Amino acid sequence: MIRLDNISKQNGHQIVFIEASAALNKGEKVGLVGPNGAGKTTLFRLITGQEQPDEGQVSTDRGITIGYFSQDVGEMSGRSAVSEVMDGAGPVSEVAAELAELEAAMADPDRADEMEDIIARYGEVQGRFEELGGYALEGRAREVLAGLAFSQEMMDGDVGALSGGWKMRVALARILLMRPDVMLLDEPSNHLDLESLIWLEEFLKGYEGALLMTSHDREFMDRIVKRIVEIDGGTLTTYSGGYEFYVEQRALAEKQQQAQFDRQQAMLAKELRFIERFKARASHAAQVQSRVKNLEKIERVEPPKRRQTIVFEFPSAPRSGEDVASLKNVHKSYGSRPIYEGLDFQVRRKERWCVMGVNGAGKSTLLKLIAGATTPDDGTVSLGASVKMGYFAQHAMDILEGERTVFQSLEDSFPQAGQGSLRALAGCFGFSGDDVEKRCRVLSGGEKARLVMAQMLFDPPNFLVLDEPTNHLDLATKEMLIKALSDYEGAMLFVSHDRHFLAALSNRVLELTPEGIHTYGGGYTEYVARNGYEAPGLHS
């Protein structure tokens, strides 16, 4: 369906692709992986024709439809979310818009004298809408939006009033409703809660077209794709199998290449020793010449490309008392909507609680109460003796000062620390070389999240309160964070929609439901095994 033949592409000084080739076949589901900045978005833009390769060819079968979801959703306002989603479905959306205008006109007393014409036109437009399957389409649009956690009010309200994250969901719903022959999805799992993520997973499993997608959620990717295309160093390498299989295969290929490289290096060293030893002896001249010629002909094995792996080790946190945090008879409402009515909850040393609950259940509110970012209407929230807390809020990145550089931000937080240790810390969190001189205002979401984490973890707290810490992180940084937190000895309370993160780090689960709270002694994996669902909103 789509073929990339020997494409080369350069953006400024950066070489993105060198004679790279790959193909996407009918009905195939493929994951696109590679380090940040490797060219994943450029590849999508080449396929959609938004950019052209410098050399080589991108060819697509005639007549196929392509739906492309990118992180750049553009402006949306003035229409309902449902209308915006239906807009991707072609002419039927224009008819739907006229129907909505006519319905408004029929309800307008100032236009009473035109009513006969309006009603006549309404009948014609309604007939055309039915002919185009409009009512079925609107039903499907609402179904997709409901799957992505929209309430009826949000579906019918002005899309302009929604936050950036919800607009992303509208843009995604538009592509899903379109059901094109090929879907290109750039990070569709960003900004989704766990219930929506699992709904999308099922939707994509049932989708019969071809799919090429990127995602920083390895569990999500692993359950959908059957092939991986890796971008690295300008080349495209294809691996059959899911994400886990790709990780194993790449490690194996690296190991084999290293072994081949080592063998060849040993052989070359041996030959060079012989040449060096006997080059001055006339009796060995023919042998020496022969070996020199042979060495020139040998095709050299390249050592495997070393991925820059980030490793961060926690300095030991000071020990806290046994009781870390306690909430007693806590009441909290927002306006007339009660969130908690008499909540009792306790965190003890070495406990790692993950907090589960549907949107609006009060997950972030619980973390804010414990962090002191909000106060209860009634009841008490207290921290135990010697507790030093680190709090990562969903909007933690907003507190960075735009004009300060990455390095200055770290210096501001730790004026006593030496330059060397701060550079090492920056390196652990993916800021190497000149990256430390970047100003905070130009950082991407992922870079800001990494900087805030670095500030929080350098002088380690013994109680971590983390609200969606992995939202903007790529796969490599997520793995580093999981590894670092696995060895962390303090207490943790966190919210995340990343199932790999939840399973790796929790040893307790707090589930917030309309009926009250439920606590589980094991971690997330035991919670799923016991309940038979992966998120509270899927509880049937």
For the chain, the C-alpha Rg in angstroms (whole number) is 29
| Tokens representing residue 283 in the block | 């009796």
Q: Kindly give, in sequence order, each residue whose CB lies less than 8 Å from that of residue 232, ignoring residues fewer than 6 positions away.
A: 34, 35, 38, 305
32 beta partners: 229
| Tokens representing residue 264 in the block | 């060849």
| Tokens representing residue 518 in the block | 């439920």
- The one-digit pLDDT tens for each residue of the chain (540 residues) are 899 999 999 888 888 899 999 999 999 999 999 877 788 889 999 999 999 999 999 999 988 889 999 887 777 888 889 988 888 776 676 787 788 888 888 888 888 888 888 898 989 888 888 887 777 888 899 999 999 999 999 999 999 888 888 999 999 999 999 888 999 999 999 888 999 999 999 999 999 999 999 999 999 999 999 999 999 888 899 998 888 899 898 889 889 989 999 999 999 999 889 888 888 888 788 888 888 888 888 888 888 776 666 666 767 788 888 999 999 999 999 888 889 999 999 999 999 999 999 888 899 999 999 999 999 999 999 999 899 999 998 777 777 888 999 999 998 888 888 888 888 888 888 888 888 899 988 887 778 888 888 888 888 899 999 999 888 788 888 888 898 888 888 999 999 999 999 999 999 999 998 888 899 999 999 999 999 999 988 765
C-alpha distances out from residue 174 to 44, 88, 197, 225, 451, Å? 18, 6, 16, 21, 34
Between CA 164 and CA 77 the distance in angstroms is: 12
Look-up of token digits 């199932």:
499
Contact (Cβ atoms closer than 8 angstroms) between residue 348 and residue 323: yes
Between CA 219 and CA 182 the distance in angstroms is: 22
Q: For residue 216, report the phi and psi dihedrals to the nearest 5 degrees.
A: -90, 10
Residue whose C-alpha is closest to residue 268's, from 240, 239, 245, 297: 297
Look-up of token digits 């999981």:
482
- pTM value is 0.81
Helix (H) or strand (E) run with residue 357 in it = none
Between CA 330 and CA 343 the distance in angstroms is: 5
Fill in the amino acid letter for 461: P
Between CA 500 and CA 137 the distance in angstroms is: 35
Between CA 274 and CA 291 the distance in angstroms is: 9
Contact (Cβ atoms closer than 8 angstroms) between residue 460 and residue 390: yes
Between CA 13 and CA 481 the distance in angstroms is: 32
